[in-house]
Amino acid sequence: MLRYIIFAPLLGALVNWLVGRRVRSERFIGAVACASVGISTAIAFYVAFKHDGALHATVPVLDHIWTWIEVGSFRADFGLAMDRLSGIYTLFITFVGFLIHLFATGYMHGDKGFYRFFAYLNLFMFSMLTLVLADNFLLMFVGWEGVGLCSYLLIGYYVDRKEAGDAAKKAFIANRVGDWGVVLGIMLVFSLTAQAGKASISFFDKPQFGITSALATIGSFGADPFIWSALTAGGVTSIAILLFIGATGKSAQIPLYVWLPDAMAGPTPVSALIHAATMVTAGVYMVVRCNAIFQSAPTAMFIVAIIGAATAIFAATIGLAQNDIKKVLAYSTVSQLGYMFLACGVGAFIAAIFHVMTHAFFKALLFLGSGSVIHGMHHEQDMRRMGGLKKYMPITFATMMMGWLAICGIPIWAGFFSKDEILWKTWSTHSPSIPHNANYILWGIGAITALLTAIYMTRLMVMTFWGTERFRETDAGGQADEAHAHAYDEDLKPHDAHAAAAGDRPRHAPEDEMTDAAHDSHNHHGPVEPHESPWTMTVPLVVLAILSTLGGLIGVPYALSGGKLPNYFEHTLEPVIAKVPAKQATAPGGAGHEEPRYLSPPPQATDSAPPVTSLESPAHETTAEDAHSPEEVRMERIFSAISVGIALLGIGIGWTVFKKRPLLKMPRVLEEKYYVDEIYNAAVINPIKAGSREGLWKIFDVGVIDGIVNGLGRSVTQLGAVVRYLQIGFARSYAAVILFGAILVIAYFAYTFRDVLSR
Amino acid sequence: MDWNFVLSIILQFTAITVAFTVVLMIVAYTVLAERRVLAFIQGRLGPNRVGYGGVLQPFADLLKFILKEEIVPDKSTKFVYFLAPILAITTALMPLIVYPFGPTVRLPFLGDIALVIARFDVGLLYVLGITSVGVYGIALAGWSSNNKYSLMGGLRASAQLISYELSLGLSLIGVVLMSGTLDLSGIVEQQSAWYGMRWNIIFQPIGFIIYLISAIAETNRVPFDLPEAETELVAGFHTEYSALKFALFFMAEYVNMFTVSMLATTLFLGGWSGPFIQQLPWLGPFYFLGKIIFFLFLYIWIRGTLPRFRFDQLMNFGWKFLLPVAILNIILTATLALFGWI
Amino acid sequence: MSAILFILFAGLAIGCAVSMIVQRNPLYSAISLIGVFISLACIYVTLAAPFIAAVQVIVYAGAIMVLVVFVIMLLNVEEEERPAFRLRYLVPTAILFAALLAAEASFVIFTVQTSPYQQAHPSASANPSEVGLTASIGRGLFTQYLLPFEITSLLLLMAIVGAMTLARRASFLSPNVRVVPGAQVLTRQTVDPRAVGDATAIETDSTIEAERLLGLENAPHAKDRD
Amino acid sequence: MELTPQLSWYLALSAVLFTIGVVGVIVKRNVIAMFMCIELMLNAVNLTFVAFSSYFRDVSGQLFVFIVMTVAAAEAAVGLGIIIAIFRNRESLDVDEANILRL
């Protein structure tokens, strides 16, 4: 059953690639793409919600497709498994993906590479679902690489534009750096489990193959001590940190976050699907999936938390100063991802997943809204050329309002619950991995980030939808950013200049709008008239708006609901999360003294029972009740009130500052993104370039390789120059020589064996 | 020197002589028939003056050929020029001796004799070999008469014959696979089962069609008559030939028709076998002759109805269609024979 | 009787062979060679090897020599001109070597003939054998000598491919090979055939760019490239 | 008594033919003629094979002949291809003119 979820998009990709390129009908291609994703969406919902579905049952739904590799004790199946975690992931991936496909059919209308775009998009869905549904590390890594490839293909979708290609390469290379960590981590997992005699890289127990869950095995080792040397000890902590390196690559955390903002060179639906909703959360998924490992590695956890918090505030400050609407959203994505890792770091895995889901909703919504704006502005992305759009595209405006409120964290909007929960869990954590009082600092960072988030999102909304209509003056806001400048140098017409600067290429307008005069104006590059987008783009916006408005309610904390409704989301995910090992296990030298208690997977039952069978073990109630002690509830309420206040404060600041002067000049260091790219160039890239150019190429390649080859040739020539004196040069004389030799040989034999002949 | 040996020698020589004469007569009347039938196809009368309905026309033609003046081109390579027609007619006539034209019959004084002049173990290969040598007649004729049209004709002829020999040979292999022998008499005797109706064409339809096509090509007949395409190269390889030498080429062509018809009959249509052959063995020669005449008529009919190929079409057809199909036919036959279904 | 036949055909074969090397016109040589082949085929028949005889006619006379004649007619080669002076010596050498070879062969044959155990070999009394017949040859070919048979078929395949490759007008490698684009170091002689042995490295993206660097756009080969 | 050909007769014949072929290869200058001489030598060898095989009642000799013929056919295909290529490059079939390797 599960296999159809992943193979439907693959089929769609193949059909679009092979057939769609022949039939150049956008209707057909779009239908195929959306249908394939829709099918997998339907199946996913069915599998998840049927009475013994993944979200109800305590055992994961397994689907063993074929045995992939089996070498000695190493075994990797091509098998899928949907437990509660991957179930939730699959649900929002397929659903949001479906909506974005729908949106893209309208957005990409009239593009030459229509079939190519949707083939890639379907391929991405296939890879992402493989990543999420894989039942072992190796297959997950296959999906991991697959999404990397698809993101590369889609960022560089506009093959004729250099910045797209560069951005694609940047993303690919940054991900390679991370994947190195993942591969090593997987190897380490295998070696550790093999040492324990239960060699496995599988996430779950598979009794029919006699496989025990690697996570269970590693978790049962007990926690490493909380010391820095554990990072390099080659133990559980090393695994965790290696996997986290991969996560920093895929989920754009410091230091590997640089590729994500550039990735906005791709089409906007791609940014929404891959670089906001799904792929970039793969790192979070992996960390949560391996929480058994991470919880045994407090050092790694602490690093995760620090990196997450740092990324969050760092990206937020940069996002404050960007003028490209998509860039702002990109940096906001980075900072939200930082939030998620912060949550993971403090052990609030469920909160992280919750934020992943809500973030998928509202960030996809925001990106699609920005896409709609860009579409309406005829591929203008610079906010300084927008303003007052709420009159022209009301639906987009309304829906983006929802996304804005959600991300700022106004109550009942989705973002509020998840973000607030993260902040609260950060404050109230008693994870062994967070040193004393460090959690308060982390909370402070998170709070400031929330404030900044509210500010820059407000700035975005204000600059886009309120204020004066700046899109009529051809050169807006005094200073044009460097893209425009270089566009003007090439004295392109303004519209092309915008297009060249913008992330999207100019395309002729949809037929259904060719009529209205306002639209024709953009063909002869005068000032552009914005227009509302077709239904295929607005419908997904509306749906996502509803989701990001109400989607958070499934995770209302006990405290806020006043005990009336329990936190469904948390209860659903609890079986997936291993319980934090006991404190004293983390005392130096005290590693693994006592067997820590686990919910999933229970180390004793590894051989026989599937991992999450013991869901209803007593530990479950303990978590429930220690969440309900009254002072905890009081504190939690206070803190949610604080975060609401922060959100309102941020919105207020943003409104007051930017309503008047939307083109307010930001600090240059922020606009230049702290010069991180320049630093990387100077520190890493240029040395490598120089080394390979001067050393490898000029010395090794030219000197050694060519030297060997040419030397061989030269020596043969000289040898020939000597040997050729043996040659007379007439074939017939050679024949004569050969004959002479033959005669000699025959004479010899005839004389030697004459007695044999005469026998 | 025992008398049986001498007797057998004499018998063979007489038989060969008789066979050649009969064949040449038939050929002569084939020419007449062709002219008449073509005339009918084209709505003319054709030669009907000499003798009753033109029965003596062939002799008139023969007389004309004999009496005409011999013209030898000045620049021609004499030896080869004279050698070519001889080669042509010889190679055309030689295969005649291996075809069985009747079952074993009982003669007065001589006892049982099989109605075949010479019986080889490799009769089929013999026929193919002689046919393949037959190329030289045409090629040398075209080369030696030192005329560009002739050279063209010769080149075309050799290319065409080389190309179509392959498909011809391959189309026969199916039959050989089934019968398991290269001996023509053996093949025919196998086909005389089922009251003389177990003809190979039933099992080898594809092979038969391929054989028919490539046989027409081998004999340079319409629609494959490029070597002597009147409209393109005056008369092809025998442009420079006149009188008796031309007659030899002319006869050679028709004898070739006759021999390939014999081969088709022998291999695919059961040779002399037919209904009631067990009771009346003397029916054999008539069955044989009848089938051959059917093929000859088919030749004439095709000539009257089909246009000529272009040379590239010819080559493409031979190499890209006929050859692969023949090979597939062999594979199919071999598979079936492997499972013992035929 | 068979002796008469042998003498007849052997004489024919030798005569044709001699005429083959005496003739100056290659077509006459070809015709004589066909004569040799056919007389050899007849000798095979007398040796009770009808299958080989037939194959001899088909393969040699029917296929190979037809090809040769075809080629001769196609190329329409004239008669050989007189040999160049410097290779005169080859004719007497050839005669000498031929004499030596014949002497050795006769020596061997004579030794065998005059050996006292002459009558030992099995064929003295035997009925006409089955070895020459198709069935036995096929049996041997497909049982004992299967591997050589298959290898031979492979050889034929290779011959087909090779012949096609040779006969193609344009060879596979284009006459002026281009350097694949992409940063690389070219030696000067790579881009400019006139500067042979000049291996000064030029950093370019392609041959064209190298030419531009060297100011060779109007080099003679630069125009006929692609 | 009736004179039946001995094995040595055939061997002598093949020796003669082979020698003629050798002389031809050395003397002839036309590539095609040399090619034909080589074919002649092959045939001489075939003759010995057949003679021995039918003399010792052993079929393998004729099988070798069969294989030799196949090789000859392949050689003909490739050789004639080469000849045509040579002729295309230098309008001559004279081997003495194909002497780029000479000093």
- The H-assigned helical ranges of chain C are 2-22, 26-46, 50-55, 65-75, 90-113, 134-142, 146-167, 188-191, 207-214, 220-224
Query: Can you give the pLDDT at residue A42?
Result: 93
Residue A440, number of CB atoms within 10 A of its CB: 12
- Choice among A49-58, B13-22, C114-123, D14-23 with the minimum mean pLDDT: C114-123
Query: Can you give the pLDDT at residue C16?
Result: 93
- Choice among A709-713, B10-14, B213-217 with the minimum mean pLDDT: B10-14
Query: Can you give the pLDDT at residue A246?
Result: 92
Provide the number of structural domains found in chain D: 1
| CATH number of the CATH domain containing C31 | 1.20.120.1200
Name C43's Cβ contacts closer than 8 Å, sequence gap at least 6.
C6, C9, C10, C13, D10, D13, D47
pLDDT, one tens digit per residue, over A145-190 is 999 999 999 999 988 888 899 999 999 999 998 999 999 999 999 9
pLDDT, one tens digit per residue, over A733-749 is 788 888 889 889 988 98
**Can you read off the two tokens belonging to residue A390?**
């709420």
What residue of C is the nearest CA neighbor of B161?
A: C66
- Put simply, the chain D residues between 34 and 73 with a CB less than 8 A from any chain A CB are 34
CB contact under 8 A, D29 and A732: yes
pLDDT above 60: residue A48:
yes
Q: What is the mean pLDDT of chain A?
A: 81
Out of D25, D27, D99, whose CB is closest to A729? D99
Half-sphere exposure of A76 (CA within 13 A, CB side): 14
Q: What is the mean pLDDT of residues C51-66?
A: 88
Query: What percent of chain B stands above pLDDT 90?
Result: 5
Query: What percent of chain C stands above pLDDT 70?
Result: 62
- C37 against A59, higher pLDDT: C37
Instruction: Please indicate, yes or no, if residue D16 is contained in any of the structural domains.
Output: no
Whether chain D has a CB inside 8 Å of the CB on C114: the answer is no
Which chain A residues are Cβ-neighbours of D98 within 8 angstroms? 731
Instruction: Please indicate, yes or no, if residue C47 is contained in any of the structural domains.
Output: yes
Q: What is the mean pLDDT of chain B?
A: 84
Residue B297 exposed, middle or buried by CB count within 10 Å (0-12, 13-18, 19+): middle
Identify which of B324, A57, B6, D72 has the alpha carbon closest to the alpha carbon of residue C156: D72
Instruction: Please indicate, yes or no, if residue D65 is contained in any of the structural domains.
Output: yes
- Choice among A606-610, B93-97, C176-180 with the minimum mean pLDDT: A606-610
Q: What is the mean pLDDT of residues B12-17?
A: 86
Q: What number of H helices and E strands is found in chain B? A: 13, 2
CB contact under 8 A, B125 and C54: yes
pLDDT above 70: residue C116:
no
Instruction: Please indicate, yes or no, if residue B99 is contained in any of the structural domains.
Output: yes
Q: Do chains C and B touch (3 or more CB pairs under 8 A)?
A: yes
Instruction: Please indicate, yes or no, if residue C215 is contained in any of the structural domains.
Output: yes
Whether chain D has a CB inside 8 Å of the CB on C33: the answer is yes
Query: Can you give the pLDDT at residue D43?
Result: 92
- A748 against B46, higher pLDDT: A748
Query: What percent of chain D stands above pLDDT 90?
Result: 19
- A122 against A661, higher pLDDT: A122
The parent domain of residue B320 ranges over 69-338
Instruction: Please indicate, yes or no, if residue C31 is contained in any of the structural domains.
Output: yes
- A730 against C32, higher pLDDT: C32
CB contact under 8 A, D26 and A732: yes
Query: Can you give the pLDDT at residue B78?
Result: 79
Query: Can you give the pLDDT at residue C185?
Result: 64
Binned at pLDDT 50, 70 and 90, residue A759 comes out as low
Of C79, C96, C119, at which residue does a domain stop?
Answer: C79
Residue to test with chain B: of C70, C77, C156, most B Cβ within 10 A: C70
- B194 against A80, higher pLDDT: A80
Q: What is the mean pLDDT of residues A384-413?
A: 88
Query: Can you give the pLDDT at residue D99?
Result: 66
Which chain A residues are Cβ-neighbours of D34 within 8 angstroms? 731-732, 735
Whether chain D has a CB inside 8 Å of the CB on C41: the answer is no
- Choice among A286-295, B152-161, C99-108, C216-225 with the minimum mean pLDDT: C216-225
Identify which of C1, A363, A367 has the alpha carbon closest to the alpha carbon of residue D3: C1
Which chain D residues are Cβ-neighbours of C1 within 8 angstroms? 2
Chain D nearest C-alpha distance from A730 (Å): 6
Of C64, C79, C94, at which residue does a domain stop?
Answer: C79
Q: What are phi and psi of A76, to 5 degrees?
A: -125, 120
d(CA A454, CA A316) in angstroms, rounded, equals 10
CB–CB contacts below 8 A, A to D: 32
Question: Is the Cβ–Cβ distance between A292 and A218 less than 8 Å?
Answer: yes
Q: What is the mean pLDDT of chain C?
A: 75
Q: What are phi and psi of A642, to 5 degrees?
A: -60, -45
Query: Can you give the pLDDT at residue A186?
Result: 92
Place of tokens 């083959």: C20
pLDDT above 70: residue C118:
no
Instruction: Please indicate, yes or no, if residue B303 is contained in any of the structural domains.
Output: yes
pLDDT, one tens digit per residue, over D28-69 is 888 888 889 999 999 999 999 998 888 888 888 889 998 999
Specify the pTM. Answer: 0.54
Binned at pLDDT 50, 70 and 90, residue A683 comes out as confident
The parent domain of residue D61 ranges over 29-94
Which chain A residues are Cβ-neighbours of C107 within 8 angstroms? 750
- Helices A438-465 and A630-660 cross at an angle (nearest 10°) of 40
The parent domain of residue C195 ranges over 184-224
pLDDT, one tens digit per residue, over B85-101 is 888 889 988 888 888 88
CB contact under 8 A, C90 and A736: yes
- C225 against A140, higher pLDDT: A140
What residue of D is the nearest CA neighbor of C54?
A: D66
Query: Can you give the pLDDT at residue A603?
Result: 39
Residue A353, number of CB atoms within 10 A of its CB: 29
Instruction: Please indicate, yes or no, if residue B97 is contained in any of the structural domains.
Output: yes
pLDDT above 60: residue C175:
no
Most confidently predicted of A486-495, A512-521, C161-170: C161-170
- Put simply, the chain D residues between 43 and 72 with a CB less than 8 A from any chain C CB are 43, 46-47, 50-51, 53-60, 62-63, 65-67, 69-72
CB contact under 8 A, D102 and A730: yes
3-state secondary structure chain D: CCCCCCHHHHHHHHHHHHHHHHHHHHHCCEHHHHHHHHHHHHHHHHHHHHHHHHHCCCCHHHHHHHHHHHHHHHHHHHHHHHHHHHHHHCCCCEHHHCCCCCC
Chain A nearest C-alpha distance from C51 (Å): 31
Query: What percent of chain C stands above pLDDT 90?
Result: 15
Query: Can you give the pLDDT at residue A97?
Result: 92
Chain A nearest C-alpha distance from D10 (Å): 17
pLDDT above 70: residue B219:
yes
Which chain A residues are Cβ-neighbours of C104 within 8 angstroms? 743, 746-747, 750
CB contact under 8 A, D37 and C102: no
Instruction: Please indicate, yes or no, if residue B37 is contained in any of the structural domains.
Output: no
Report the greatest alpha carbon distance in chain B: 63
Which chain B residues are Cβ-neighbours of C34 within 8 angstroms? 133, 136
Q: How many residues does chain A have?
A: 759
Provide the number of structural domains found in chain B: 1
**Can you read off the two tokens belonging to residue A58?**
């305590």
Question: Is the Cβ–Cβ distance between C201 and A702 less than 8 Å?
Answer: yes
Q: What is the interface pTM, i.e. ipTM, of the complex?
A: 0.72
Q: What is the mean pLDDT of residues C74-99?
A: 72
Query: Can you give the pLDDT at residue C195?
Result: 64
CA distances to A182, A253, A275, A442 from A245, in Å: 7, 9, 18, 20
Q: What are phi and psi of D30, to 5 degrees?
A: -75, 130
d(CA A151, CA A157) in angstroms, rounded, equals 9
| CATH number of the CATH domain containing D87 | 1.10.287.3510
CB contact under 8 A, A732 and D103: no
Which chain C residues are Cβ-neighbours of A710 within 8 angstroms? 199
Return the bridge partners of A571, or none.
Answer: none
Provide the number of structural domains found in chain C: 2
CB contact under 8 A, D63 and C166: no
Instruction: Please indicate, yes or no, if residue B176 is contained in any of the structural domains.
Output: yes
Instruction: Please indicate, yes or no, if residue D1 is contained in any of the structural domains.
Output: no
pLDDT above 70: residue A585:
no
Instruction: Please indicate, yes or no, if residue D46 is contained in any of the structural domains.
Output: yes
- Choice among A107-121, B121-135, B269-283 with the minimum mean pLDDT: B269-283
Residue A729, number of CB atoms within 10 A of its CB: 14
Instruction: Please indicate, yes or no, if residue B308 is contained in any of the structural domains.
Output: yes
Q: Do chains D and B touch (3 or more CB pairs under 8 A)?
A: no
Residue C91, number of CB atoms within 10 A of its CB: 13
CA distances to B172, B178, B203, B265 from B329, in Å: 10, 12, 11, 19
- Put simply, the chain A residues between 676 and 705 with a CB less than 8 A from any chain C CB are 697-698, 701-702
What residue of B is the nearest CA neighbor of C61?
A: B133
Query: Can you give the pLDDT at residue A504?
Result: 47
Q: What is the mean pLDDT of residues B281-291?
A: 86
Query: Can you give the pLDDT at residue D49?
Result: 92
Q: What three-state secondary structure class fits A81?
A: strand
d(CA C119, CA D32) in angstroms, rounded, equals 44
Query: Can you give the pLDDT at residue B59?
Result: 86
Instruction: Please indicate, yes or no, if residue D39 is contained in any of the structural domains.
Output: yes
Which chain D residues are Cβ-neighbours of A758 within 8 angstroms? none
Chain D nearest C-alpha distance from A742 (Å): 11
